[in-house]
Chain A
Amino acid sequence: MKVMCAMSGGVDSSVAALLLQRAGHEVVGVTMKLWGGDSDTGCCSVSDVDDARRVAQQLGIDHLVFNFGDDFDQHVVDPYVDAHRRGTTPNPCIECNRSVKFARLAERADLLGFDAVATGHHARIGQTDDGRLTLERGHDAAKDQSYVVHMLDQAQLARTLFPVGHLDKSEVRSLAAEIDLRTADKPDSQDVCFITKSDGRETFLGNRIPFRPARVIDTAGDDVGTVDAVELVTVGQRRGLGLPGGGPKLYVTAVDVEQGVVTVGADDDLLDQGLLAEQMSWVDGAADGAVLVQCSAHGAPRRAIVRLVEGDSSTVEVTWASPERRVAPGQSVVLYDLTDERVLGGGICA
């Protein structure tokens, strides 16, 4: 096959390209230039592009850089800022996968005659007996990234490859080390690529939206403190609320940006019976009934019953098997089957 391998300059995508090449595919490496501003890591810094290019050179494959900066601004950065403005907690890496890697890049690959796009994600694509494609957790449970690629459907899976999904991270690193790839020891990227460690989220958002102060009240409605920027407060947060020390631990249970009110309560006040997930996508059609639900990249899956909100597979009602800690609106809600291996679909917590 002719495969376009998205190369971020990290070890996973380096080894993905290596494995594709070893499998006999015709491989072209592509690094996406997504962000014009400062970046510690991700696909955008000159040294990451250097790494990707040098790995491609070592493997003897072509390497190109595509500029998808406009798409990234429009589909990832602007919605990220807007979500904070509305007081929700977005997951920009998932939006990047949805709108850039598996949409814009995949369409470009298609147009240019590639049979598939490969990435270095730790997830696996399988097939059922009747030929349907499945999206499964990566072999390395600690590095599993099925959560962030949950939006892939049958058509997309048919044209996607995850060459390192069946490997442990240590195996990925040893494969890279064996042939002395310069990325073999490169640390994993952790954070949002367009926000630098030195400036942080607060500075990034502060340059783009006006922060508004908010009252902090307890469940009885009494004022207990204030925050300078309601846009930076997340449900479940405990620190940075300007509350006096001592006393019982208090958590944010609700954020009302319009009214400028942050409500705090005890741990118990955070417990919910369920949630509503919107903008659902499905790997192989809508599912309902008993499932496992994961609400953060490395969060524990929790048992729940899902029910489609009538006549509409884009919204589901999730009812926890037993009360669970509240999920911040804006977070991705991903459904797995009861074996905790297969992704069924996912959406965004309302």
Chain B
Amino acid sequence: MTVTYLDHAASTPMRPEAIEAMGPYLDVLYANPSGSHRFARRARQAIDEARDRVAAVIGCRPNEVVFTGCGTESDNMAVAGAVSAARHAGRTGVSVCPSVEHHAVLEVVEHDVHGHLVGVDAAGHVDLDALASTLDQLAADGTPADVVSVMTVNNEVGTITDLDAVARVVRRHSPDAWFHTDAVQAASWVEWSDVTPHADLIALSAHKFGGPKGVGVLIERGRAVTDRVDPIIVGGGQERERRSGTHNVAGIVAAAEAFAITAAEREAEIARISALRNALVDQLVGAIDGAIETVPRHLKNAGSAHVCIPGIESEALLFLLDEADVCASAASACASGAMEPSHVLAAMGVDREAALGSLRLSLGHTTTADDVDRAVEVITGAVERLRRPVAAHPGAST
């Protein structure tokens, strides 16, 4: 049986071209790009070219691109690096983010004494009035925000942020703050012209757009060019003195390849995949009594289908889907692999009963109409089974 893979937001399959592009750098072109011989220069050139390609897609200068080890590292560097730089400059080091951020941002802000969370509306959009008043209050207290971080696309429910509107609030109410956006879930789905001009710092992760795991990108532009955030991985300064550690040459080359292909195909893929997503959600909501589309689709990225199904538990549903070779997810998993209750749904005010039955289906470049048909069949069957009262066993006690 073939696997129906609807977990692209967790990781999307690598683009074949990206796999191919890696090959030489895993094999014959093995030199360390920081070396001084011709062999090293070949590897160095590959990184330089990858940097140019990423910059061209993003719409920034190549020297604004920092290759990191993952999306989380990029987010950490943006937020923790900003807090650290502010403190080195004698400021308080105040960070602000909405309560629905990915843990890569949220953990940094929440665990800092000068970290502040801002609420969101029912769709998961940051509450702009609350953001403005938080920034005003911080400024009035003499501890203005040093970094504000708002994600471009929410990893659980798919909500797209109007970064222009958020950036205006940040510029107006905290003019000296860095504005960071976690765009890890955005690469396949948004136009960079809606993102790049508004943010000083942008985090990306290669395996979310058909590149390999273990490669992230942090874009440092705007204010972040002249006023640097602190590196968080220090040592030899190999990555343009912004990040240390030997370059993952093969990974970086493959990431750039995948990033370029994704950008070239974006418009057509959004049209194709949103039609599949709409069919998927319409059929699920139509067939499953009480199922709701968590966030209206016009507010979401094309690949995201998130539904809440009352009367069932995600863990049980995912088990049955897994048995039927349908790969999906619910909220984020902790180190043990257990599903954690969703902080995103809680922040959006989704009631606990509905949140218990949340299901995240995420589509991507390999998704087909057959995947959608099969997912609908398996999910509706599984929900029906979970909702069926358990037959009493002989001698069952209450």
Contacts and interface: CB of A to CB of B under 8 A. Distances in A.
Given A46-B335, A66-B315, A159 B320 contact: no
A108 B337 contact: no
Given A33-B336, A66-B338, A158-B395, 10 more contacts: A31-B336, A33-B334, A67-B339, A67-B340, A108-B316, A112-B316, A112-B320, A153-B395, A154-B395, A159-B393
Interface string A106-126: 011011100000000000000
Nearest to A30: B319
A70 B352 CA distance: 12
Contact of B397 (A46, A107, A153, A159): A153
A342 B35 CA distance: 75
B397 A155 contact: yes
Interface string B335-356: 1111111000000000000000
A158 B393 contact: yes
B328 to A, nearest CB: 14
Contacts of B393: 155, 158-159
B336 A46 contact: yes
Interface of A: 31, 33, 44, 46, 49, 53, 64-67, 69-70, 107-108, 110-112, 153-156, 158-159
A33 B390 contact: no
Contact of B390 (A49, A69, A107, A154): A107
A155 B398 CA distance: 10
Contacts of A107: 390
5 contacts: A31-B336, A46-B336, A64-B337, A111-B316, A155-B397
B396 interface: yes
7 closest cross-chain pairs (CB), A and B: A33-B338, A67-B338, A49-B336, A65-B337, A155-B396, A65-B338, A154-B395
Given A49-B337, A67-B338, A67-B340, A111 B390 contact: yes
Interface in B312-337: 313, 315-316, 319-320, 334-337
Interface string B38-61: 000000000000000000000000
A111 B386 contact: yes
Given A66-B315, A111-B386, A155 B394 contact: yes
Given A33-B336, A65-B336, A158 B394 contact: yes
Nearest to A281: B397
A154 B396 CA distance: 7
Contacts of B339: 67
Contacts of A112: 316, 319-320
A67 B316 CA distance: 11
Contacts of A155: 393-397
Nearest to A44: B336
A14 B313 CA distance: 27
Interface of B: 313, 315-316, 319-320, 334-341, 386, 390, 393-397
A111 B318 CA distance: 13
B207 to A, nearest CB: 22
Contacts of A66: 315, 338
A305 B338 CA distance: 47
Contacts of A70: 341
B256 to A, nearest CB: 34
A159 B396 CA distance: 11
B278 to A, nearest CB: 31
Contacts of B315: 66-67, 108
A153 B334 CA distance: 35
Nearest to B391: A110
Contacts of A110: 390
Contacts of B340: 67
Contacts of B334: 33, 67
A111 B312 CA distance: 10
Nearest to A159: B393
Nearest to A107: B390
A159 B393 CA distance: 9
Contacts of A159: 393
A69 B393 CA distance: 27
A107 B393 CA distance: 12
Contacts of B319: 64, 112
A219 B263 CA distance: 84
B24 to A, nearest CB: 33
B284 to A, nearest CB: 20
A44 B337 CA distance: 11
Nearest to A31: B336
Nearest to A32: B338
Contacts of B341: 67, 70
Contacts of B338: 33, 65-67, 69
A64 B336 CA distance: 10
A31 B338 CA distance: 9
A275 B315 CA distance: 43
Nearest to B392: A155
- Most B C-beta atoms less than 10 A away, residue of A64, A112, A153: A112
A3 to B, nearest CB: 14
A171 B113 CA distance: 53
Nearest to B340: A67
Nearest to B388: A111
B3 to A, nearest CB: 15
Contacts of B394: 155, 158
A158 B313 CA distance: 25
A110 B319 CA distance: 13
Contacts of A156: 397
B134 to A, nearest CB: 28
Contacts of B386: 111
A66 B319 CA distance: 10
A111 B397 CA distance: 17
A3 B103 CA distance: 35
A66 B316 CA distance: 9
